[in-house]
Amino acid sequence: MPDRSKHTPNHFFAAPRTPPYSSTSKVHFSLKKLPLDGYFSFENIHCAAKDFGNRYHFLPSAVLYPKSVSDISSTIKHIFYMGSTTNLTVAARGHGHSLQGQAQAHQGVVINMKSLQPKMHVHTGQMPFVDVPGGELWINILLETIKYGLAPKSWTDYLHLTVGGTLSNAGISGQAFRHGPQINNVHQLEVVTGKGEVLTCSENQNADLFYGVLGGLGQFGIITQARLSLGPAQKMVKWIRVLYSEFSTFSNDQEHLISSENTFDYIEGFVIINRTGLLNNWRLSFKPKDPIQANQFSSDGKILYCLEVAKYFDPDEIEEVNKKIERLLSELNFIPSTLFLSEVSYVEFLDRVHLSEKKLRAKGLWEVPHPWLNLLIPKSRILDFAKEVFGNILTDNSNGPILIYPVNKSKWNNKTSMVTPAEDIIYLVAFLSSATPSSTGKDGLEHIVTQNQRILDFCDKANLGSKQYLPHYSNQEEWEAHFGPQWETFVQRKSAYDPLAILAPGQRIFQRTI
């Protein structure tokens, strides 16, 4: 048997190749022979060629519905040892909420991670944690851990994403300034490598694999189980929005808030460019503190910046929390008439985007193309970025929200594979656009993609030192530039853990070697 672990994968992307030698029926035959607890489907494969981005559709040969970790291990081992008789690749699919086919495998095998057993197990005590399968949705983890008065500390804005999917990227939301991204709140992982080995890894055991997999874009192994750090669950949330007309005042206040421990529990923000009737929409869930003044405020024709913050509380301590909030707000410089408040349960707050999903689905507006662009911008260049992008490139944001908020990188572990700009404070800027199918206008895919490219071109030209989050590139030079000094380590880890480049072909970083 040749020693395949010595192979170095080619790290360039070409259009997906059709296996020249092994016919589809041969592939099916060889996979069918594998003894599994779960099963392969060779017919129901179209669902695995779709994702939230709705722009890339690569049909696999088969979809594996694993019941056990050994199903995943046997499948990968089988493909690994088939060597040059196949060039099958394998993609783990969480909830398929990628944007550009990252969880797809052209003529390969897609593993439906959500069908993986076993169930979750919550460990209470002084340092509580939960063991979860890699295909578990964050909403289910919340609903399970909250029964014990516990919950994960760091979230994403939307909870219908899987643990394996977000840990392969980072998992960033309004708690990341305090707790770091989700990849910072993991004690241990169980991983199936590209050679089919099942390995446990943590800070103290197989640390190179552990840090490689966290933020590793699925390149080094499939996460079959994760041990997540827990903290106390909360009961209620005061959810607050205030507006600014000056970007620098807004960002100064955001940076001021994230600099202190004694602050809100969630800090985000978004940009509003020339939106009509926006504040009226908010009124369904937010109450203005000063209704008369708020009535006279109009967002039409303006660029506004909305600071969004939240404070968790126990209803028994309402007076105390109100005082804390008043003190925190008194330190800020927002437009006084634009203070909007809401009070919701902890679960409602964390699961807030799901409500929008239901509304959009009902109108047929969820399964449209989503040309999203997510960027990380260093604090020192955020004013230049805002001036050009919000003042010049974009004329409105009617295609979707634009999030913008700073995070404190001192809370982030820099040993993971995730790439960030080299500054202590960085801003996440997320252009979350939806395109109207077959429109050729300003709400069409082409227009939005062109606008995204203008933003990327500006970042390059102005040398902002920005990085893409949920990165997407089409050639090796761009990936190398993205990883910068971390590229060599990334390539070394690929050679060590997935030497034939079988895993996560949809990221288009490495091409399968035979």
Q: Residue numbers of the site for ligand FAD (CB under 6 A)? A: 51-52, 91-98, 102-103, 113, 134, 156-158, 161-162, 164-166, 168-173, 217-218, 222-223, 353, 470, 504, 506-507
Our CA angle for 282, 284, 270, nearest 5°, is: 20
Catalytic: 97? yes
Report the nearest approach of ligand FAD to the CB of residue 53 (Å): 8
Catalytic: 157? yes
Report the nearest approach of ligand FAD to the CB of residue 98 (Å): 3
Pairing of strands 109-112, 90-93: parallel
With contact defined as beta carbons under 8 Å apart, do 411 and 177 qualify?
A: yes
| 51, 71, 97, 179: the active-site residue | 97
| 71, 268, 388, 498: the active-site residue | 268
* CA-closest candidate to residue 512, choices 2, 1, 166, 20: 20
> In which residue are the tokens 């679960």 written?
347
- Could you give the CA distance from residue 345 to residue 239 in angstroms, rounded to a whole number? 10
Beta carbons within 10 angstroms of residue 363's beta carbon: 7
Report the nearest approach of ligand FAD to the CB of residue 189 (Å): 9
DSSP assignment string, 243-312: EES-HHHHHHHHHHHHT-SSS-SEEEEEEEES-SSHHHHHTTT-EESSHHHHHT---TT-EEEEEEEEEE
Coil, strand, or helix at residue 31?
helix
| Gap between the terminal Cα atoms of the chain | 14
- Could you give the CA distance from residue 155 to residue 265 in angstroms, rounded to a whole number? 12
Report the nearest approach of ligand FAD to the CB of residue 302 (Å): 26
With contact defined as beta carbons under 8 Å apart, do 258 and 177 qualify?
A: yes
Pairing of strands 129-133, 121-123: antiparallel
Report the nearest approach of ligand FAD to the CB of residue 430 (Å): 8
* CA-closest candidate to residue 303, choices 277, 278, 272, 281: 272
| 11, 157, 443, 482: the active-site residue | 157
Report the nearest approach of ligand FAD to the CB of residue 349 (Å): 13
**CA atoms 225, 180, 232, 268: torsion sign:** negative
Report the nearest approach of ligand FAD to the CB of residue 110 (Å): 9
Catalytic sites, residue numbers? 97, 157, 268
